[in-house]
Amino acid sequence: MRTEEYMHELKDRGYRLTGKRKEILDFLLLHNRYISARELIEYMKEKYPTMSYETVYRNLKTLRDEGMIEESRFEDNETKYRIVCQTGHHHHYICIHCGRTMVIEHCPMPELTVPDGFHVLQHRFEVLGYCAQCQHEMQS
């Protein structure tokens, strides 16, 4: 989806269409990887110098609650965000250094033994590590 489509969805759900919210969506769509709130705030402060951390976090929470972005916690305990994939059911390898993602081609859920009496509502698999490019950069 494009920024305009996300903004239209938000308007239909009763949210105000703000320039800041549009800018956050533009940034997340452009980078297509996991982004930390810190990185997003640094970018937003260039355009909106008085913008508060609370405004960024409030917008991230709204976008997450509306199912437009997803969050993941990385090994340094930092939460990062990215646009939800629109390509159907799949899982990711995630580089903990740069935030890039790669699709896991096979869903491992069918091979798991679910405990008796447990009803699975949803699942998500994330494999954290370093992509080839970041490994190369770290070795240099």
The answer to whether 107 is annotated as binding is: no
Q: What is the 3-state secondary structure (H, E, C) of the chain?
A: CCHHHHHHHHHHCCCCCCHHHHHHHHHHHHHCCCEEHHHHHHHHHHHCCCCCHHHHHHHHHHHHHCCCEEEEECCCCCEEEEECCCCCCCEEEEECCCCCEEEECCCCHHHCCCCCCCCCCCCCCEEEECCHHHHHHHHC
Question: Distance (Å, rounded) from C-alpha 74 to C-alpha 93?
Answer: 12
The answer to whether 95 is annotated as binding is: yes
Query: Which domains, and CATH codes, for the chain?
Result: 3-83 (1.10.10.10), 91-139 (3.30.1490)
Query: Model-level pTM?
Result: 0.75
The answer to whether 85 is annotated as binding is: no
The answer to whether 89 is annotated as binding is: yes
The answer to whether 31 is annotated as binding is: no
Alpha carbon 24 to its chain's center: 12
The answer to whether 8 is annotated as binding is: no
pLDDT at 107: 87
pLDDT mean values, one per 10 residues, the chain (140 residues): 92 94 95 91 94 94 94 84 82 87 87 92 87 93
pLDDT at 30: 93
